[in-house]
Amino acid sequence: MTVKKILTEPNEILRQISKPVEKVGKEEQKLMDDMLETMYSANGIGLAAVQIGVPKRIIVMDLSKDEKIKEPRYFVNPKIKNKDSLKSTYEEGCLSVPNQFAEIDRPKKCDIEYLDYNGKKKLLKAEGLLATCIQHEMDHLEGILFIDYLSKLKKSMIIKKLSKNKSSRIVV
């Protein structure tokens, strides 16, 4: 397993629409292993393949609170089957938008159909942080970042800050 570099905004690749996976094979499993390793090393709870520069519809996640007990989850070609009209608010962050946080409203519950690590079809009823996180990750597959939900002013301030940090290679 290899820790890959996580792309950060502004970056055109993050705005690409990820392509469906045709078959969950060795190559995809290796990608999922690398994604998980990369996510753990960055202390994230989720990661989409496009964040390491691979625009495929693959997500990894681990919401376990105890670092010693790993609970990796893998989602290939996830589709939202049903979503709650009731919203919940969560303070979101993103490894591709370093050190920025904002409260985002999303459906409180959703049902997700996906393929697992072995290519087996699964259905998951998600709520709470799991629902928030899977929707955040699925946005990545569409080239959407959480800052896209903020006002134009807030979003442009964040992008300006990130661009500045990038050019001076300072990470605040």
Active site residues: 137
**CB burial readout 111-140, b (16+ within 10 A) else e:** ebebbebeeeeeebebeeebbbbbbbbbbb
Q: Which does 93 bind (CB under 5 to 8 A by kind): Ni ion, ligand GNR, none?
A: ligand GNR
Considering the complex, state which of residue 73 and residue 140 has its C-beta at the smaller distance from ligand GNR: 140
Q: Which does 45 bind (CB under 5 to 8 A by kind): Ni ion, ligand GNR, none?
A: ligand GNR
CA dist., res. 113 & res. 62, Å (int): 18
Q: Which of 14, 32, 48, 110 binds ligand GNR (CB under 6 A)?
A: 48
In order of 70, 72, 80, 145, 168, the CA distances from 125 in angstroms are 20, 17, 10, 23, 44
| Position 107 contacts ligand GNR (CB under 6 A) | no
Considering the complex, state which of residue 42 and residue 124 has its C-beta at the smaller distance from Ni ion: 42
Binding site for ligand GNR (CB under 6 A): 44-48, 51, 90, 92-96, 132-133, 136-137, 140
